Amino acid sequence: MVMPLNLVSDKSPFISLLMITLIVMIGLIVGPLLGGAIASNFYDGEFITDLQNFTLKPEAFDAILILQGTGTFVGLILFPLIYVTQLEHKSLRPFFPAQNNLPMILLVVALLGIVFPIALSPIMVWNMNLKFPEFLHGFEQWAIEKEELGTKLTEQMTNFTSLNHMLAGVFVIGLLPAIGEELVFRGLLQREIWRASLKIHLAIWLSAAIFSTIHFQFFGFIPRLLLGALFGYLYYWSGNLLIPIFSHFVNNAFIVIMVYLNQTKVTTIDIEGGEAPPAQFVIACAVLSVGLIYYIWNHYTKVDPPVERLDNSYNNNGPLA
């Protein structure tokens, strides 16, 4: 059995998971509060009040990106990094080990980040139109409200009026969440659930379920769960957090860029239109996704396995607490 290295903490994994959850929750409170305070200086009016009432002025784009970017950076990047490096006194270097053929792998996972969601599009459409049984009517109404809230915020953040706005969107909507979410859900939670249970598949799917749940958009839960599981396996196979981060970033950035191209009439493809592409295109992307996943799996299990596949023992940080 392949054993997880103690990259996150030398404490009991259960204590570590509790601390990670607490740190992230605090960060996700402090981040938006700080972001709201900063964003208010870039908005002519009562920013927080208008945001809560959905009455933001058209020029609120900068303020919204500042709010979103600050919240993501503080909650999902800064606070988790402080936990790992300052409270646990761990280095970040083992999360990003040197690997052979890295440029080719990055190219493959970048393509996978584009075609895999397209292959999932029929599931996405099904999930969007899912009807809950009568006894879950209250939950369904709550989920619909959360979905509408998320849609409105997304529309505000992707109301691009210039190329610079689109590039800012790629940074705030594409890069920061890719780094923060992969650090927290794969680098921290997945590793510690694995260390606690010694069951890697449980760790991958449970962290993916938490990843999907935390978005509070349940009419996209299943495809987001599958995407999170993909990133989890990319991290497990490679042992390098850069791999899922890059695939996640390309996926996010591709959506942002396609939205901008649609808004500027460069393309008529509406990636957020709620409809699946033609069946033959979906099938082609599904076949390509399987091939790309097989290539990555084969590379990291047969050609160039990471340390955790070569050594069943822990590193010099000690055995499982």
pLDDT value of position 289: 98
Is residue 40 assigned to a domain?
A: no
| Cα 265 to Cα 132: distance, rounded to the nearest angstrom | 37
Q: State the residue for tokens 């992707």.
A: 158
Please give the C-alpha separations between residue 167 and each of 161, 176, 199, 256, 257, in angstroms, as whole numbers: 11, 13, 40, 9, 9
Is pLDDT at 1 greater than 70 in this prediction?
no
78 found inside a domain: no
pLDDT higher than 50, residue 319:
no
Flag whether the pTM goes above 0.85.
yes
Domain assignment of residue 76, yes or no: no
Band (pLDDT 50/70/90 cuts) for residue 69 is very high
Residue 165: which H helix or E strand, with range?
A: helix 163-169
Residue 87: inside a domain: no
The whole-number pLDDT of residue 142 equals 74
Q: For residue 15, is it within any domain?
A: no
C-alpha span between 310 and 321 (Å, rounded): 22
Any domain includes 315: no
End-to-end CA distance of the chain: 17
- The angle that helices 221-238 and 242-263 make with each other, rounded to 10 degrees, is 140
pLDDT of 3 over the 80 cut: no
pLDDT tens for 47-57 read 877 777 766 77
Query: 10 Å Cβ neighbour count for 202?
Result: 14
Q: What is the reported pLDDT for 270? A: 81
Does residue 36 lie within any of the structural domains?
no
Cβ(132)–Cβ(139) under 8 Å? yes
Domain that includes residue 150, residue range: 100-310
The model's pLDDT over 291-307, given as tens digits with 9 standing for 90+, comes to: 999 999 999 998 888 88
Taking 90 as the threshold, does the pLDDT of residue 149 lie above it? no
Residue pointed to by tokens 């610079």: 164
| Amino acid 153: pLDDT | 76
Question: Cα Rg for the chain, rounded, in angstroms?
Answer: 20
Give the Å distances, CA to CA, from 246 to 109, 151, 180, 280, 313: 7, 25, 12, 27, 29
Higher pLDDT, 62 or 147: 62
Express each pLDDT in 209-229 by its tens digit: 999 999 878 888 999 999 999
Q: Quick one: pLDDT at residue 271?
A: 80
Q: What pLDDT, in 10s, does the model give residues 199-208?
A: 999 999 999 9
What are the tokens at 191? 């590793």
Tell me what pLDDT residue 70 has.
96
Transcribe 41-82 into DSSP letters: GGSSS-HHHHHHHT---GGGHHHHHHHHHHHHIIIIIIHHHH
20 assigned to some structural domain: no
Give the pLDDT of residue 261.
94
Q: Give the number of domains in the chain.
A: 1
